[in-house]
Structure 1
């Protein structure tokens, strides 16, 4: 379907035309008409499906009509991480170039100047506030946020927010919204906790589900079944055989990311870590250096597995098994996105991760090829996931991964109504 076949305002279509957006994606075709009708909605769609435009376009379409309060916060978009909040803000900037709709991004890790800019933007009544939960609540508690006239409440990557422990924050914000507020939820997965949240905050919602994508066949998926201490030796051997370039290594925690990056650096590899303890300016610099090829290996937590667009990744390594099969898909999906569409994914499976990896294989509906471990690294365990099928304890995503006060993101500016915003 073409965007001009939807019931969108001319100014919105002009913005889409300027950005060379012509055809809708499946999630956009299904959700935009429902949101335009004013219905609550829960949509299951992953990053890369065009979901941001699916909710942003109908919201700015309605705000562009000029029927909403001029000095009120008319829409709240809540996102789990600063990176996603920034990307949503950038998309809104493009879509509203010809429209007098204002926006401000509100996320943690800022200095006092950025805090004041965020506060001023909300007090002036930015039409759209894109926020991480913790920072939005901080402003609310200081009295700089009035949500009494808000018309749209959007939760993006709701499953990730619940995983990060933001349920109470979401409910606190929801209680401040008027009963007439339209609630829109997007989630990559639909576990019971998401359905419970939906029943709590949505009113007779429409449910839209885009088929959960599995990794492209162009990604060669392989794995090593090994003991935990063998992982680093196998990794070093791989990199000595073939110089690493455009490689992302995912690890389960920022502590392990730091340790692994430091170990690889001692081995003289060109590597940088990416985790929430870095200042935001440092994180942005690392991403820039990795994208332009000055860094060969990025060791990261799942903070970069979703929502960050990096092309031409040659290899993704799962140093640790992700908790959810969908996270595995997100991780290895960072590869096979370049011009040739091919990629390689290698996963290290320790004994206590075998049951988890079997769940991933069940989700993929096929086994992943296990590369024999070279005898020089010692005897390796057999792949016997049933033997190790015991619940993992103590698992939890650190809430501060997405929103903390240690980073320093770019300054966030409220964009004034009626004034085209500068790109870049």
Structure 2
């Protein structure tokens, strides 16, 4: 379907057209009519499918049509500050010509930011995107008015439950109107999320499931079977000829991020790092440099596996095999978004082979196994079902099958279905302006109160 087929408000269509989007993704095509009809919705969709626009566009449309200003009509609850900022930017882009206002509410920061958030609540803001802990802090102060709230959206519900937010969610839900439209989005649907949905929904919800737990078709997936001590030389070799590409290298711990970042810096690669050990100001500066192509590579923990929203990421490297197979899908989902092309390479050590096999079973795909270049020596045999002790070195196993080619750039077209930095703002009027009229900065990352808004 084209976006013009949904019957959206002309001012909203102007914003969509300005972003040069014409055709809806499958989740948008199925979800937008359901939301416009006022029905509760459960959407099962992974990152990169266009799910943010799937709920944001109809919500903006209904806020415009209501004619009500200076009252919060929609509340979006998310697990991390990164995702809150991303969704706020999406709203700014699509609502540029509509006058619909929004603000991201998240933990961390200083008293000035808290005051700016309070001012938004008191002055009236159409859409609030919030992490649970920070929102409760404002609710406890007594000035938050949700009496005209019409929409409650939970995004990445599975991750919120994994991070222990269910008690906070119940406290928030108890403070908002019982008569509302509920939208729940999740990449997976475990029992806990189903139970939450039953608690949340006022009526029989419509369930839409799109491409559950599988990377996008446009991702070329490969794996190198290597010893742990071969990883640094291999990743350096993989990255050295990719200047000008956008690359994210995922590590499984903050210590690994710091170590690999320092080593790649010494190799004269254009690199930054992202983890909760990095100060907020530095994280913001790093992400801005990455978005503006001033650095080519970000080494990061899973702190950005679901939240980063950067146009045209060419390559994702899993320096460590993620502990949870679902995390692989979210890491790989950083590239090949909205039907574009991308590449994902995973370095699989002997101790990680069983874990990698679990990933292959989850996505129902045998990922091509490559051997390291001859200059690095032989790699281990790929035998994920074998019992393994400590890795005994690069010459203790037979080489794996496959080819030692690295592959060149797999171009990813610029642009992103869920991105955008334009601003809307203020009242129900067409004039474009600054959406974020409270002057709150737009950080990246998610360094927040421990145990509340998520620290990686």
TM-score range, shorter chain: 0.7 to 0.9
CA contact (8 A) 2:371 2:378 kept: no
CA contact (8 A) 2:103 2:128 kept: yes
Partners in 2 of 1:6 and 1:243 — Cα distance? 42
Deviation at 1:57, TM superposition (A): 2.0
Partner of 1:286: 286
Helix, strand or coil for the counterpart of 2:158?
Answer: helix
Deviation at 1:213, TM superposition (A): 6.8
CA contact (8 A) 1:15 1:98 kept: yes
Judged with a 3 Å threshold, the aligned counterparts in structure 2 of structure 1 residues 77 and 210 are, in CA distance, closer, same or farther, namely same
Structure 2: which 5+ residue stretches go unaligned? 390-420, 437-456
Report matched runs for 1:235-254 at 5 Å. 235-239=235-239, 246-254=246-254
Partners in 2 of 1:111 and 1:4 — Cα distance? 43
Partners in 2 of 1:160 and 1:170 — Cα distance? 13
Judged with a 3 Å threshold, the aligned counterparts in structure 2 of structure 1 residues 190 and 298 are, in CA distance, closer, same or farther, namely same
Partner of 1:420: 432
Partner of 2:181: 182
Partners in 1 of 2:314 and 2:335 — Cα distance? 6
| Segment drifting more, 202-211 vs 9-18 | 9-18
Render the CA deviation track for 1:223-275: whole Å, top value 9, x for unaligned: 23334344234334545688795332101122321222123224443321012
Partners in 1 of 2:300 and 2:93 — Cα distance? 29
Judged with a 3 Å threshold, the aligned counterparts in structure 2 of structure 1 residues 38 and 333 are, in CA distance, closer, same or farther, namely closer
CA contact (8 A) 1:225 1:373 kept: yes
Partners in 2 of 1:50 and 1:380 — Cα distance? 39
CA contact (8 A) 1:121 1:413 kept: no
Helix, strand or coil for the counterpart of 1:64?
Answer: helix
CA contact (8 A) 1:126 1:414 kept: no
Partners in 1 of 2:58 and 2:127 — Cα distance? 13
Helix, strand or coil for the counterpart of 2:146?
Answer: coil
Partners in 2 of 1:386 and 1:294 — Cα distance? 43
CA contact (8 A) 1:150 1:181 kept: yes
Partner of 1:27: 27
Judged with a 3 Å threshold, the aligned counterparts in structure 2 of structure 1 residues 230 and 121 are, in CA distance, closer, same or farther, namely same
Partners in 1 of 2:140 and 2:92 — Cα distance? 28
Partner of 2:50: 50
CA contact (8 A) 2:32 2:57 kept: yes
Partner of 1:223: 223
With structure 1 as the length reference, what TM-score do the two structures score?
0.82
Render the CA deviation track for 1:331-373: whole Å, top value 9, x for unaligned: 234345699x654422122333222211211233232222234
Partner of 1:275: 275
Partner of 1:399: none
Partner of 1:403: none
CA contact (8 A) 1:79 1:155 kept: yes
Render the CA deviation track for 1:207-230: whole Å, top value 9, x for unaligned: 111133744555442223334344
Partners in 1 of 2:316 and 2:346 — Cα distance? 8
Judged with a 3 Å threshold, the aligned counterparts in structure 2 of structure 1 residues 59 and 247 are, in CA distance, closer, same or farther, namely closer
Partner of 1:365: 364
Render the CA deviation track for 1:30-60: whole Å, top value 9, x for unaligned: 1122212222110012222222222112222
The answer to whether the aligner puts 1:110 opposite 2:109 as a matched pair is: yes
Partner of 1:305: 305
Deviation at 1:385, TM superposition (A): 2.2
Helix, strand or coil for the counterpart of 2:221?
Answer: strand
Partners in 2 of 1:242 and 1:37 — Cα distance? 48
Judged with a 3 Å threshold, the aligned counterparts in structure 2 of structure 1 residues 79 and 388 are, in CA distance, closer, same or farther, namely farther
CA contact (8 A) 1:102 1:417 kept: no
CA contact (8 A) 1:42 1:185 kept: yes
Partner of 1:197: 196
Partner of 2:328: 328
Report matched runs for 1:257-276 at 5 Å. 257-276=257-276
Render the CA deviation track for 1:149-171: whole Å, top value 9, x for unaligned: 32211011222222333222222
CA contact (8 A) 1:118 1:414 kept: no
CA contact (8 A) 2:48 2:333 kept: no
The answer to whether the aligner puts 1:39 opposite 2:39 as a matched pair is: yes
Report matched runs for 1:315-394 at 5 Å. 315-336=315-336, 343-373=342-372, 380-388=379-387
Partner of 2:60: 60
